Amino acid sequence: MKIAFIGGGNMAISLIGGLIADGFDRQGITVADIDENQREALAKRFNIQTFDNAPAAAQSADTIVLAVKPQVLKEVAREIASVVQSQKPLVISIAAGIGTADIARWLGGKAAIVRAMPNTPALVQCGASGLFANAQVSETQREDAETILRATGLTVWMDNEEQINAVTALSGSGPAYFFRIMESLEAAGQQLGLSQQAAHLLTLQTALGAAKLAMESPDDIANLRQSVTSPGGTTEQGLRVMEEQDIDELFKAVLQAANDRAKQLAEQWGNK
């Protein structure tokens, strides 16, 4: 498989790094980026071929990864339309909000397209990606898409494209929510008398440990919570405050706002 990345930013870097770490032949990877310094950095770091334009990078690719921002996706897709229509590669888009129908239209017609929503922990090979394939994607191409995204973490296929907006709200934006919670815990720990360093390290390790325990335990999250909540103990008192503040409604509103914004992006950029 030959893979062309259009856009050489952080997410492309994480995917390329993960693929190479998994043993993928670096000679099968090309990248297009308009920034000369970025191209030089990518070539030096990964020893891969880089280009200053998308069509050149995509010319012989079996899979094209559109790793660009939503506002430039239309322009980029139109640049490679002739290549896609003649070579019939798999096209993977990681741009938030833009639907497969709009991408196909910009690519000049029918195309095998997978929408993927990875997240920033992919940078440390601990990402989570939601995937959706349109009707033109073959089973082999689904496997190829999964291979690429799985190089940086977990992958989950969606049954319908609308669910990608929910993926964007939950796991795509989710790291920022956890970072914000960690900020608050660290600050509260300092207010209780801990040093900044102690509060910082305890917060990070607690977050890491809780996630690792939840991933590896056969119990569901509710049972894990109950297992560390002794009646009349300190944890119970802390959780009581969360319930009084209606934490469930808070996060429901948080994810709904992000989900709505993903839909707005589709309308804003997809209809142009």
pLDDT tens digits, 189-244: 999 999 999 999 999 999 999 999 999 999 999 999 999 999 999 999 999 999 99
* CATH 3.40.1260.10 assigned to 3-164: no
pTM: 0.88
Q: Are 58 and 6 in contact (CB under 8 A)?
A: yes
Average pLDDT over residues 262-272: 77
**The pLDDT value given to residue 259:** 93
Average pLDDT over residues 246-258: 97
Residues 7-45 have pLDDT tens digits of 999 999 999 999 998 899 999 999 999 999 999 999 999
Average pLDDT over residues 146-172: 94
Question: pLDDT confidence of 269, banded at 50, 70, 90?
Answer: confident
Torsion angle defined by CA atoms of residues 210, 211, 216 and 217, in that order, rounded to the nearest 10 degrees: 50
**The pLDDT value given to residue 75:** 94
| CA pair distance 29, 222, nearest whole angstrom | 43
Hey, what long-range contacts does 36-42 have (CB within 8 A, 24 or more apart)?
38/8, 38/9, 39/8, 42/8, 42/13, 42/16
Domains 3-164 and 174-262 share a fold: no
How far is residue 135 from each of residues 35, 132, 158, 160, measured CA to CA in Å?
35, 10, 13, 11
How far is residue 24 from each of residues 20, 42, 53, 82, 189, measured CA to CA in Å?
5, 16, 23, 27, 44
| CA pair distance 11, 32, nearest whole angstrom | 14
Whether residue 272 has pLDDT greater than 80 = no
| CA pair distance 150, 251, nearest whole angstrom | 27
Query: What interhelical angle do 10-21 and 36-46 show, nearest 10?
Result: 10
**The pLDDT value given to residue 230:** 94
| CA pair distance 202, 183, nearest whole angstrom | 12
- Side chain identity, residue 224: L
* CATH 1.10.3730.10 assigned to 174-262: yes
Whether residue 123 has pLDDT greater than 90 = no
Structure tokens at 90: 């798999």
What does the DSSP 8-state code read for residue 120? G
Q: Give the DSSP H or E segment for 165.
A: helix 163-167
Residues 48-59 have pLDDT tens digits of 999 999 999 999
The percent of residues in the chain predicted with pLDDT above 70, rounded, is 99
* Domain limits, the chain: 3-164, 174-262
- Contact residues for 146 (Cβ-Cβ < 8 A; gap 6+): 131, 155, 157
- If phi > 0 it is left, if psi is from -120 to 50 it is alpha, else beta; for residue 74 that is alpha
Residues 125-145 have pLDDT tens digits of 899 999 999 999 999 999 999
**The pLDDT value given to residue 172:** 93
Structure tokens at 163: 């669910």
